[in-house]
Chains A and B, each alone.
Chain A
């Protein structure tokens, strides 16, 4: 069985400071891991994904995430926050269940960026 825990429901940062959104997962297999972003009243957009290649994954808009198997973590980071980064972020794990891959979403982390 797979599960994902986003450790913070809200993260508040000042513009120009680093961003850290934490995600821990549980999986019986070698999982695929994703981060999606959702702006208010919009659909979700892929930021980046890990699929058993390089453990440090670079995504769009300056975000990156590092897969750490020993810590079962896939934290999302960005060196310098921008006002446009304010949104909801979802960590997702995917591994085979009965032969099909059904993604499991975390509950989301709301990123608040102060000027």
Chain B
């Protein structure tokens, strides 16, 4: 019955590899987000989608490509992984612009070695 589920929870990979993180929500929300939490616990938005349309694209390297096949799913694909990409990546969802708050997934800890 998980509201926002992300897979995998942990990902260890070598530099230069390509990897994907999947996210699904069953809350009926129409907006989904990707956040990055760095080693100092700072949370920064990367992307947001509303009804499959890209709304926010922060200054993120173009090695990161989000894809939203429908409003319940938002995946994140990362090409040519670098050491600096190591972080926890959170998916979140909300109704509309999120004035009632976001619901977060449990995060994916990505470690690039």
- Are chains A and B native binding partners rather than an unrelated pairing? no
Residues of chain B at the chain A interface (Cβ within 8 Å): none
> Chain A interface (Cβ within 8 Å of chain B)?
none
